[in-house]
Amino acid sequence: MQLTWPGGPLRGTAQLPASKSEANRALILQALAGGGTLSNLSDANDTQLMQCLLATAPGTTELSAEDAGTVMRFLTAYLAVTNWRGRLTGTARMQQRPIKVLVDALRQAGASINYLNNDGYPPLEIAGFTAAPETTAPTELSVRGDISSQYISALLMVGPRLPGGLRLTLTGHIGSRPYINMTVALMQRFAANYTAEGDVLTVRPGAYHPTDYTIESDWSAASYWYALVALAPAGSEITLPDLRRESLQGDQAIAGMMTQFGVETTFLTDGVHLRQVPLAPQTEIQTLDFTDCPDLAQTVAVVAAALARPVDMTGLESLRIKETDRIVALQTELAKFGGNLRDLGEGRFRAESTGFDVNNQSVATYHDHRMAMAFAPLAMRGPLTIESPSVVRKSYPQFWKELTKSGFAVSEAD
């Protein structure tokens, strides 16, 4: 797909998808509660897939989570505690993404789960759940806090279904804490009894209550509009509806991060307004920590390189095991424009550039929706081709349509 910006400031209103992070948690909780109405569910593939698999699970013995990490991890726990029996698989890339920490914890809680190919990786055979008889003590589990928060969220959400509940101890450094906070906040909306003492999280046994809930728009998707405003001509602004100041999403951090790239955020009663402001002189290289918001890393790295405003980035460890190795993918694609994501050692990377130029380059997307959308804003600086543009269906199917509405020329590349 070829993208071209005709010139002039960016203005208008852009529609965002609903948060798939909220939606996929709420769908699991709705299923465990046995009811409730969820509003503003996204048409993103991950959300549609979760809905489909939850609906069809009772009548089938084989399910595919495709390339959706939350679907694979949340369903593994859900299917185990609901005594489903069958095979849970995914794409070739999903079968390279580890799940051992979650499976080990579920086995300890009473789940029967076996690996069908490689130890520690999908596909899985799930063969029911055996709870200790007449137990009143909570299941005691301990997991590392620096693993994917999706493992921790999966365990917490099924906690009330364990006979004595769950006492989960997180050890070491805890990453992506906002996603854990989102999970427990949604659990409490569905009437879970949850308490925390330091890094010991306790969920008491009991039934979830059917609950009506409206999903917020997606802050991760909003990040690409922040990038567009940052890279657009002077005077650019955009309104993004249905975002909340009091958000459960950790990716709301993009509002603060983008101030150093010349984007001002004003919260409205029903969304946010973004406005480009003059860049202040950069006196020193700032460090941004993505431990709690790794999905913003690609967006920020591309903007920093394009504006020649270097930024040091930490907390990128989980990028290695996403849809692709996002660090390698960023390094490869930024180099085409004169940019770099330089490894400084000890978990620190510097996004930078020398002579950054956009002039008909073609960006590979590595089966990764965020690679496509993080690099698309570069079309503000020159014509650009995005390979395999359909990858955006995973989280923001209407992305190219929204770019067209905002004024981009979007056409099929030769």
Are 250 and 387 members of one domain? yes
List the CATH number of the domain containing 300.
3.65.10.10
Are 65 and 204 members of one domain? yes
Tell me which residue of 244, 240, 282, 237 sits closest to 263, measured CA to CA. Answer: 237
Q: Is 21 assigned to a binding site?
A: yes
User: Which of 214, 244, 269 corresponds to the end of one domain?
Assistant: 214
Measured between alpha carbons, how far is 239 from 249 in angstroms, rounded to an integer? 19
* Token output for 339: 């940019």
Q: Is the pLDDT of residue 393 over 70?
A: yes
Task: Map residue 20 onto helix, strand or coil.
Answer: helix
What's residue 43's pLDDT?
A: 85
Q: Is 175 assigned to a binding site?
A: no
Q: Is 401 assigned to a binding site?
A: no
Whole-prediction pTM: 0.87
Are 298 and 317 members of one domain? yes
Contact 215, 355 (CB under 8 A): no
Are 272 and 286 members of one domain? yes
Per-residue pLDDT of 399-410, as tens digits, reads: 999 999 999 999
Q: Is 149 assigned to a binding site?
A: yes
Per-residue pLDDT of 220-240, as tens digits, reads: 999 999 999 999 999 999 999
Q: Which domain holds residue 255?
A: 2-16+217-411
Measured between alpha carbons, how far is 231 from 100 in angstroms, rounded to an integer? 41
Are 306 and 335 members of one domain? yes
Are 242 and 258 members of one domain? yes
Least confident stretch, 135-139, 148-152, 346-350: 135-139
Q: Is the pLDDT of residue 275 over 90?
A: yes
* Token output for 283: 């006196």
User: Which of 191, 214, 237 corresponds to the end of one domain?
Assistant: 214
267 φ/ψ angles, rounded to the nearest 5 degrees: -80, 130
Contact 344, 367 (CB under 8 A): no
Q: Is the pLDDT of residue 246 over 80?
A: yes
What's residue 15's pLDDT?
A: 97
Average pLDDT, the chain: 94
* Token output for 113: 């789960």
Q: Is the pLDDT of residue 340 over 90?
A: yes
pLDDT band at 138 (very low <50, low <70, confident <90, very high): very high
Measured between alpha carbons, how far is 129 from 107 in angstroms, rounded to an integer? 9
Are 189 and 275 members of one domain? no
Q: Is 100 assigned to a binding site?
A: no
Are 49 and 9 members of one domain? no
What's residue 174's pLDDT?
A: 84
Are 204 and 244 members of one domain? no
Percent of the chain residues past pLDDT 70, beyond the cut: 99
Q: Is the pLDDT of residue 132 over 80?
A: no
Per-residue pLDDT of 34-58, as tens digits, reads: 999 999 998 889 999 999 999 999 9
Q: Is 326 assigned to a binding site?
A: yes
Q: Is the pLDDT of residue 135 over 80?
A: no
Per-residue pLDDT of 256-265, as tens digits, reads: 999 999 999 9
What's residue 414's pLDDT?
A: 65
Number of domains in the chain: 2
Q: Is 176 assigned to a binding site?
A: yes
pLDDT band at 130 (very low <50, low <70, confident <90, very high): confident
- DSSP string across 50-110: HHHHHHHGGG-SEEE-TT-HHHHHHHHHHHHHTT-EEEEE--TTGGGS--HHHHHHHHHHT
What's residue 324's pLDDT?
A: 83
Average pLDDT (48-71) is: 96
Residues belonging to the active site: 295
pLDDT band at 175 (very low <50, low <70, confident <90, very high): confident
pLDDT band at 274 (very low <50, low <70, confident <90, very high): very high
Measured between alpha carbons, how far is 392 from 375 in angstroms, rounded to an integer? 12
Q: Is 112 assigned to a binding site?
A: no
User: Which of 214, 234, 254 corresponds to the end of one domain?
Assistant: 214
